[in-house]
Structure 1
Amino acid sequence: MSPDVGAVTVGDIVAERTVHLTRESLVRYAGASGDFNPIHYRDDVAAEVGLPGVLAHGMLTMGLAVGTITPWLGDAGRILDYGVRFTRPVVVDPADGADLHIVARIGQVADDAVRVDLTVTAADTTVLGKAQVRVRPADQPADSTGDGAR
């Protein structure tokens, strides 16, 4: 179901999911992204630089978060812009992994866009702050440039 300005109100939860991350997830993401920083797969390096453990890639966390609303949108091309603040790392335990929980809630409704606020937590700690996605309403056509600008 695509977002319809008249069908959503501030506070509505439009999507929610939990994604389980493992060390294998991090290695696969490193291969796909080309980010082979050893803090994402080696405990000794993470400890050496003072981290609490191996960390999930920030861009992986960010991508999983925004991906939560894609089924609701019906078309990822409706995303106009997306921004976050990285507030806490996602530590991925070698045995237990980590669960990333995402809740997508309507933060603002305007004629030209709907703002979706994402709450992203791991181990009961908020890991992304001010995670906001502006999306084009279903009844608004894309502009001719294809970049979402109006």
Structure 2
Amino acid sequence: MKIITQNKKAHFEYFIEQKFVAGIKLQGSEVKSIRAGKCSINEAYITFRNGEVFILNMHIAKFDASSIFNHEETRTRKLLLNRSEIDKLMGAQTRDGMTIIPLTVELHEGLIKVVIALAKGKKLFDKRETIKERDIKREQQQSLKGKMR
């Protein structure tokens, strides 16, 4: 799998509980633009309508070589999941107060897939712990690097 884009803030803002791989319904110019790496999921979020899953605010830049039949950049796009996965996501969101966020957009065997996660928001002190752990890890790496020289 080739990662095209990822939501870098997701692991900082949320505790990731479970991941799902979903297909996405796209137009031709959107596929070409995504393959060129011109998409962003930083502001995107997942919602439910009539028992179906949709991703909103996913930005896919217009494809330059496309004609007048180009796509809208931030339109609502349908995610393709099994019924059991949809039921699991809906239940966890309503019952446990969890949120569903997109993590990455990947190219898998010629198909575009969106990895979404069932997540719980972090509190401020959890974010501080994450920063502290990251700093400690960075210092350890630098000290090991210094000893190697």
Same fold (TM over 0.5): no
Question: Where is the helix percentage greater, Structure 1 or Structure 2?
Answer: 2
Q: Which has the higher strand share?
A: 2
TM-score of the superposition, structure 1-length normalised?
A: 0.30
Which is higher, the Rg of structure 1 or of structure 2? Answer: 2
